[in-house]
Chain A
Amino acid sequence: MATLARGRTSFGDQPLLELVCCTASMHSGLLLEDCPQPVARERLGELAATLPELFGTLDPSCLDRISEGLGDHAKGQTFAEIVLLSDQYLHVIQPLRARPGVALLAVSPCGVSVGLVLSEFHARVAALEDK
């Protein structure tokens, strides 16, 4: 499946990177693909269900005003990426520019570098955006 991937990648002496990704609707909060891993599917499904809340409750004019103070005058700003960290997992959400209303979600167990997880995640986003 094009947008669903379960990657295990070894980078030198770094621990194995395990990253499960799936696309989801930001409006309905539903996964748009099947996920063969039951545990990850459940976790990503629950993460997907929060998308309408995470992306729909902050008035965009609030971010516009703060951005303006930073010299960025674009209007209608919204979050472009959200990373959530617990002691066990790293979750990442990124709305896809090429598919409005759709976001790529990912979950990875903690224990590897946050930067490494994000690099791999961004590579998956880029691959989806290029299609």
Chain B
Amino acid sequence: MNTSSVESRRVFSSIPCDPSLLSGVLRLLAWLDELPKGATGVLKFGAEGVILLEARRICWAMTRQMRFRLTDILRHQSTPPLPREAIEEIYRRCQQTGKPIGEALVAGGLVSEQGLRAALLKHIGEALAQLAKLSLTPDSFVNHTRSGYDPRFAFSACELLAMYGALDDPARAAAAQLELAGNVVPGSVGAAFVRSSSASGAQVIAADRGCDLAVHDLNALCNWAAGLFDVARTFDPEVRAARANWGNNGALVTWRTKDVGYIGVCSSRAAAACLFSNIVEPGARASGVVRAAPRSGDGAP
């Protein structure tokens, strides 16, 4: 097991790995998809909880029954734990200045950007899991005109979906995230999926930061890509990549490695050509010539 998988298990261990949770979270995230793209404000669930959004990205979520505070998560995700006094000192300063504590911790060098993102994702993940478990629906959305959250520490609904999908195999999800990071090009957003025994169809396990598709559209594209590799077996079991164009500019690139499938949604034909070229073996990148050279396993995603 590599370092990232150990870290992932530690970070997400308090969120139950439960198929029914995923469907509940999907229902919850669908509410966010219904909001306008620039929605900034608070989605309220009565007295039970809130989700704070900026440009429809999730900045914060809280419920009455949260087990951990963000500062607890931050303290204990490093070894040895961060000193409580140092965190409390920054907390006091943030109370005076109104600056978000997480960002102040990063600025003060106590937490890395990646560490804060992981802690926030865990915190928000726990909150959404609780709201999903209670089958709550939002009762109001209060618009805010003031914005101020650092976009580096806000998450798309797709990233949250991927976080839950990654729970049953964090190491595989971490590897998929690396594969995405190594291939996605400007003008494209990507996600990774597996065939789930518990969920029907594809289960999203990784999404890049820019992936802000509606979650049901992301699921639909992943299901289509999974189906493509299934039916391709009838005429060529070794099909490992595909590109599908639509409309004036849109394109979907999909590929697979072992049991994980990937999609890249491209905003231009040029981005699609670049991504498609990236996933062909390195020798072909310069020449555009595809040669017979095995790269992937034959397991279907």
Contact = CB atoms under 8 A, between A and B. Distances in A.
Q: Do A and B come from one complex?
A: yes
B196 to A, nearest CB: 18
Contact of A47 (B235, B244, B246, B280): B235
Contacts of B234: 46, 49-50
> Secondary structure at chain A's binding surface: helix, strand, loop or mixed?
mixed
Contacts of B221: 58, 62
A70 B243 CA distance: 18
A53 interface: yes
Given A72-B247, A80-B245, A88-B236, A54 B292 contact: no
Interface stretch (B23-31, B46-54, B115-123, B225-233): B225-233
Interface string A57-98: 111001101110111101001111111111111110000000
Contacts of B55: none
Given A72-B249, A72-B250, A87-B238, A50 B231 contact: yes
A39 B288 CA distance: 26
A15 to B, nearest CB: 8
A127 interface: no
B287 A91 contact: no
A62 B291 CA distance: 34
Interface in A82-128: 82-91, 110-115
Interface stretch (B125-133, B134-142, B170-178, B212-220): B212-220
A57 B223 CA distance: 9
Interface residues of A, number: 41
Interface size class on chain B is 35 or more
A113 B287 contact: yes
B265 interface: yes
7 contacts: A54-B227, A65-B214, A74-B247, A82-B243, A87-B238, A87-B294, A88-B292
Given A63-B246, A84-B239, A88-B292, 13 more contacts: A49-B235, A54-B231, A63-B247, A66-B213, A67-B249, A69-B37, A70-B248, A72-B247, A83-B244, A84-B232, A91-B235, A114-B276, A114-B280
Interface of B: 37, 213-214, 216-217, 220-221, 223-224, 227-228, 231-232, 234-236, 238-250, 265, 267, 276, 280, 287-295
